[in-house]
A and B are shown apart, each in its own frame.
Chain A
Amino acid sequence: MASWRRCLFVAAMMMVVVASADESNSWLSRSGHFRVSYESDLQPIVINRMHSWVLIVADGDGVPVTGATLSIAGGMPAHDHGLPTSPQVTRELGPGRYLLEGLRFHMNGEWQIEIAIEAGELRDVAVIPLQL
Chain B
Amino acid sequence: MRRMRQLLLLLLIGTAGYFGWMYRPVSPHPWSEADLDTLRSLWFESLPAPPEDLSNAVADDGRAALMGNRLFFDTRMSANGEVSCASCHDPDLEFTDGRHKGRGIGESKRNTRSVVASAYSPWLYWDGRRDSLWSQALSPLEDPNEHGSNRMHIVRFVTTEPTYKSMYAALFGPAPDFADSNRYPSAAAPGNNEELARAWRQMSQQDRQSVNRVFANIGKAIAAYERTLLPERSRFDDYVRAVIDDDRQRQQAVFSNDEVLGLQLFIGAARCTECHNGPLLTNDEFHNTAVLAFPGDLPDRGRIDGVREVIENEFNCLGEYSDDPQHRCPELTFVRTDPELVGAIRTPSLRNLARTGPFMHKGQIDSLAGVLEHYNRAPDAMIGHNEAKPLGLSRPQLRRLEAFLETLAAPSSR
Flag the segment in A2-10, A34-42, A103-111 that touches B: A103-111
* A79-B387, A84-B285, A107-B275 given; A102·B337 CB < 8 A: no
Taking the closest CB of chain B, its distance from the CB of A73, in whole angstroms, is 10
* Inter-subunit contact A102/B334 (CB<8 Å): yes
Does A82 belong to the interface (CB within 8 Å)? yes
Nearest residue, chain A, Cβ from B331: A50
Flag the segment in A24-32, A56-64, A85-93, A117-125 that touches B: A85-93
Contact with A along B382-394 (1 / 0, CB 8 A): 0001010000000
* A101-B330, A102-B330 given; A83·B336 CB < 8 A: yes
B275, B284, B334: which has the most chain A beta carbons within 10 Å? B334
Size class of the B contact interface (CB-based, 8 Å): 20 to 34
Contact with A along B25-40 (1 / 0, CB 8 A): 0000000000000000
Q: Is the interface of A mostly helix, strand, loop or mixed?
A: loop
Q: How far is A50 from B286 in the complex, measured between Cα atoms in Å?
A: 16
Partner of B283, one of A48, A80, A87, A101: A48
* A47-B278, A47-B283, A106-B283 given; A86·B387 CB < 8 A: no
* A82-B336, A106-B283, A106-B285 given; A50·B275 CB < 8 A: no
Nearest residue, chain A, Cβ from B280: A48
* Inter-subunit contact B273/A48 (CB<8 Å): no
Taking the closest CB of chain A, its distance from the CB of B381, in whole angstroms, is 13
* Inter-subunit contact A82/B278 (CB<8 Å): no
B330, B335, B385: which has the most chain A beta carbons within 10 Å? B330
| A86: chain B residues within 8 A (beta carbon) | 334-338
Taking the closest CB of chain A, its distance from the CB of B392, in whole angstroms, is 17
Nearest residue, chain A, Cβ from B333: A102
Q: How far is A84 from B336 in the complex, measured between Cα atoms in Å?
A: 7
Does B277 belong to the interface (CB within 8 Å)? yes
| A102: chain B residues within 8 A (beta carbon) | 330, 333-334
Q: How far is A86 from B273 in the complex, measured between Cα atoms in Å?
A: 23
Nearest residue, chain B, Cβ from A109: B274
Does B195 belong to the interface (CB within 8 Å)? no
* Inter-subunit contact A82/B338 (CB<8 Å): yes
| B331: chain A residues within 8 A (beta carbon) | 50, 85
* Inter-subunit contact A47/B334 (CB<8 Å): no
| A47: chain B residues within 8 A (beta carbon) | 277-278, 283
Q: Which residues of B contact A (CB under 8 A)?
A: 273-275, 277-278, 283-286, 330-331, 333-338, 340, 385, 387
